């Protein structure tokens, strides 16, 4: 019944087309229209003669033939164009209304695929002439053909040039690029472009100084970097790695420690200053020799302060002398000067060689010129003695001239000092509310303010004030603690975050955008002395000598390490952690550390610890020598502190060993 209705519909359609053709012929239609009608008529006549046989492939082939003859007729009627450049043909195609220069190629590809499909269908029908084709097979064949036509259209090849499509893909992340690569071949080529993955590596902080040609496959490079970062984070959480301790000679007590990403410097009561390279921590430390003026002094004065960055190291002695060494040129000092009185604080710019010294009321600022000769940029005097001082990083270019900016706290006042200013500018001052801690980044300064008298009784509490260095105005005030804020870290914290420690034994993290508290941790048994945080962890040191590592989001303690003496220095990067336990008593009473009493010496000397959580930190070369001893050595202890390698190495027990 359905087949008869279909035949009747086709007969009526043929009559309508025939009548329309006659009317058009009487109206002087073009020759092209008559050819099309004759082809349709011939198609229906063939269908009427063989309607009892399956004609699926023949119908499709006839349609393809009609379309091919139509295209051939149109191309024959058009005048033959002369050879012309490609850009002229592209421009003419755009003027004719085509959406892109590849439209003709896409149409030819679709016609070719249709002809191939029809040939395959005809072959299968000729091989099985008696097979009855039902309506389901026809729908499946038509669906497959529609899918082939859809896949033949590369979207960006027609709609957009490659450069514009690449510009759009630059706003996608890794997961979105992976999904787009599965859409089609054209999108896959775009998603695998090296420029996209190179910029993604730079955006995530990997290989900042590289170029596009530095790696043959930036996608693999990014995958390896993220895999390594994940392994390092797992090592941090599980305390998997190696630890190195500075074992110093008898009779010398640690006075101060400073570190950067590359170097660690320490000063001792004997007047010695030592420098270590964290990339080769097992190697012997290099002595930084004092100037010739101090070399003849006996006994030599104690070292009060040490500072280091990637280019220079500086040390201030108890008699007011200051020595500066280059970390590259050698062990002799490149600059030496002396200030009246004892140096109260010493500051070194993290990204330049600018050095600031405060002794009593006097402030001095030194910097080398382009030829390497040191000169004094500024000398000034403040009304009150300086208690803390920070050199603001020059990155960010607030003034645009590269002049260093010094932030100083003296009593309840915080000053800003530059070499070009006639007098120090007052950033913050509140009578009777002293400043307890100070830190600064490239654009902000954070200071802890102690509330006294009526402010404390009114419920105000101690606070952290954050100022903008561009405008000099207060941006936000955070914290409401009963104890004094003992340390604050703004320079090494993530953007818009501030971490601080308090004498009430808590570590607090604040969001500077909203002024709200992110987390508050009951961290230590005594006051917090040093703290640093990144995007997922917090490392804090306390007065009892405990170093704690916290997970910021959950507020859970991952692990802790204890040494004698307060933790005065904590600094870490992605895979390394340096801590310094500095004794308060530099000349302990009741114990002679110059003798051979190892117990007394260990009790009073202080210690520097270096933790390495990199992927290769658990290899054989990074294990402490005491953990690598074997039975053949008579002076070794056969145990492993970190349980990172087997207990013993039995040499000669098996050929494989």
Give 330-398 as a 3 state SS string: CCCEEEEEECCCCCCEEEECCCCCCEEEEECCEEEEEEECCCCCEEEEEEEECCCCCCEEEEECCCCCC
- Give the containing element (helix H, strand E) for 547: strand 546-551
Query: Count of alpha carbons within 13 Å of 326, Cβ hemisphere only?
Result: 11
Residue 20 token pair: 């329309």
23-32, 272-281, 359-368, range with the lowest pLDDT: 23-32
Distances (CA, A) of 399 to 352, 402, 407, 422: 16, 7, 15, 16
- Give the containing element (helix H, strand E) for 22: helix 2-26
Exposed, middle or buried: residue 247 (CB in 10 Å: 0-12, 13-18, 19+)?
exposed
- The answer to whether 200 and 222 have CB atoms below 8 angstroms apart is yes
Each residue's pLDDT tens digit, 292-309: 777 677 778 899 999 999
- Measured in whole angstroms, the distance separating CA 571 from the mean position of its chain's CA atoms is 18
Those residues whose C-beta lies under 8 Å from the C-beta of residue 233, and which sit 6 or more positions away, are: 536
Report how far residue 240's alpha carbon sits from residue 325's, in angstroms, rounded to the nearest whole number.
35
Q: Please name which of 225, 234, 190 lies closest in space to residue 204, comparing C-alpha atoms.
A: 225
Report how far residue 216's alpha carbon sits from residue 20's, in angstroms, rounded to the nearest whole number.
65
Each residue's pLDDT tens digit, 371-427: 889 999 989 999 999 999 999 987 544 444 567 899 999 999 999 998 887 788 999
pLDDT > 90? residue 599: no
pLDDT of residue 404: 84
Range 551-558, long-range pairs (CB < 8 A, 24+ positions): 551/237, 552/509, 552/518, 552/519, 555/519, 555/521, 558/236, 558/237, 558/239
Report how far residue 312's alpha carbon sits from residue 328's, in angstroms, rounded to the nearest whole number.
8
0.85 cut: is pTM over it?
no
Residue 531 pLDDT grade (very low, low, confident, very high; cuts 50, 70, 90): very high
Mean per-residue pLDDT over the chain, rounded? 76
- Crossing angle of helices 103-127 and 135-151, in 10° steps, is 150
H helices present in 96-217, as ranges: 103-127, 135-151, 155-159, 162-169, 174-180, 185-191, 194-203
- Identify the residue with better confidence: 75 or 509: 509
Diameter of the chain measured on Cα atoms: 128
pLDDT of residue 17: 63
pLDDT of residue 59: 46
284-317 burial, b at 16+ Cβ within 10 Å, e below that, comes to ebeebbbbeebeeeeebbbbbbbbbbebbbbbbb
Q: Please name which of 39, 32, 35, 33 lies closest in space to residue 62, comparing C-alpha atoms.
A: 39
For 37-87, give the DSSP string.
Answer: HHHHHHHHHHHHHTTTS--HHHHHHHHHHHHHHHHHHHHHHSPPPPP--HH
pLDDT of residue 654: 39
pLDDT of residue 283: 52
- Identify the residue with better confidence: 106 or 537: 537
pLDDT > 90? residue 36: no
Helix (H/G/I), strand (E/B), else coil: 112? helix
- The answer to whether 233 and 225 have CB atoms below 8 angstroms apart is no
- The answer to whether 172 and 195 have CB atoms below 8 angstroms apart is no
């Amino acid at each position: 019944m359905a087949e008869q209705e279909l035949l009747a519909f086709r007969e009526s359609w043929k009559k309508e087309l025939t009548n329309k053709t006659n009317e058009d012929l009487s109206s002087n239609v073009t020759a092209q229209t008559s050819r099309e009608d004759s082809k349709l008529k011939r198609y229906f006549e063939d269908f009427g003669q063989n309607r009892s046989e399956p004609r699926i492939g023949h119908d499709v082939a006839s349609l393809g033939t009609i379309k091919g003859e139509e295209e051939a007729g149109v191309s024959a009627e058009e005048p033959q164009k002369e050879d012309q450049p490609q850009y002229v043909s592209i421009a003419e195609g755009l003027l004719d209304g085509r959406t892109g220069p590849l439209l003709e190629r896409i149409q030819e590809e679709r016609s070719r695929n249709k002809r191939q499909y029809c040939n395959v269908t005809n072959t299968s029908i000729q091989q099985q002439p008696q097979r009855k084709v039902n309506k389901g097979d026809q729908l499946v064949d038509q669906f497959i053909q529609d899918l082939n036509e859809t896949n033949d259209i590369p979207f960006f090849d027609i709609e957009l040039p490659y450069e514009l499509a690449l510009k759009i893909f630059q706003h996608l992340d890794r997961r979105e690029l992976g999904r787009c690569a599965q859409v089609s071949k054209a999108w896959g080529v775009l998603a695998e472009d090296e420029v996209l993955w190179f910029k993604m590596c730079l955006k995530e902080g990997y290989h900042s100084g590289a170029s596009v040609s530095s790696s043959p496959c930036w996608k693999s490079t990014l995958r390896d970097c993220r895999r390594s970062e994940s392994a390092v984070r797992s090592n941090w959480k599980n305390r998997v790695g190696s630890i190195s301790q500075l074992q110093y000679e008898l009779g010398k007590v640690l006075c101060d420690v400073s570190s950067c990403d590359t170097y660690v410097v320490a000063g001792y009561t004997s007047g010695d200053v030592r420098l270590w390279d964290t990339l080769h921590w097992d190697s012997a430390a290099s002595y930084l020799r004092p100037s010739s003026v101090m070399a003849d002094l006996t006994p030599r004065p104690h070292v009060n302060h040490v500072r280091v960055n990637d280019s220079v190291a500086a040390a201030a002695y108890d008699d007011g002398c200051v020595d500066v060494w280059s970390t590259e040129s050698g062990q002799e000092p490149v600059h030496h000067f002396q200030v009246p009185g004892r140096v109260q604080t010493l500051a070194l710019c993290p990204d330049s060689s600018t050095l600031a010294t405060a002794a009593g009321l006097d402030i001095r600022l030194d910097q080398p010129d382009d030829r390497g000769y040191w000169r004094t940029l500024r000398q000034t005097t403040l009304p009150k003695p300086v208690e803390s001082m920070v050199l603001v990083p020059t990155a960010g270019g607030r003034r645009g001239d590269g002049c260093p900016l010094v932030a100083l706290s003296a009593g309840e006042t915080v000053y800003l000092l530059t070499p070009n200013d006639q007098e120090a500018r007052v950033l913050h001052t509140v009578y009777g509310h002293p400043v307890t801690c100070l830190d600064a980044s490239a654009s902000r300064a954070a200071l802890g303010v102690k509330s006294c008298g009526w402010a404390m009784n009114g419920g105000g509490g101690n606070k952290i004030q954050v100022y903008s260095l561009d405008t000099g105005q207060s941006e936000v005030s955070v914290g409401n603690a009963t104890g004094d804020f003992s340390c604050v870290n703004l320079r090494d914290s993530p953007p818009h975050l501030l971490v601080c420690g308090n004498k009430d034994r808590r570590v607090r993290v604040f969001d500077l955008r909203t002024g709200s508290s992110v987390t508050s941790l009951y961290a230590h048994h005594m006051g917090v002395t040093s703290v640093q945080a990144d995007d997922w962890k917090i490392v804090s040191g306390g007065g009892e000598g405990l170093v704690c590592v916290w997970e910021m989001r959950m507020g859970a303690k991952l692990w802790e390490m204890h040494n004698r003496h307060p933790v005065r220095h904590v600094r870490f990067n992605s895979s390394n952690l340096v801590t310094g336990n500095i004794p308060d008593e530099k000349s302990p009473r009741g114990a002679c550390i110059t003798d051979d009493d190892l117990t007394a010496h260990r009790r009073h000397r202080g210690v520097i610890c270096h933790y390495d959580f990199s992927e290769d930190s658990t290899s054989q070369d990074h294990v402490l020598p005491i953990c690598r001893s074997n039975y053949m050595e008579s002076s070794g202890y056969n145990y492993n502190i970190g349980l990172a390698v087997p207990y013993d190495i039995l040499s000669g027990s098996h050929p494989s060993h």
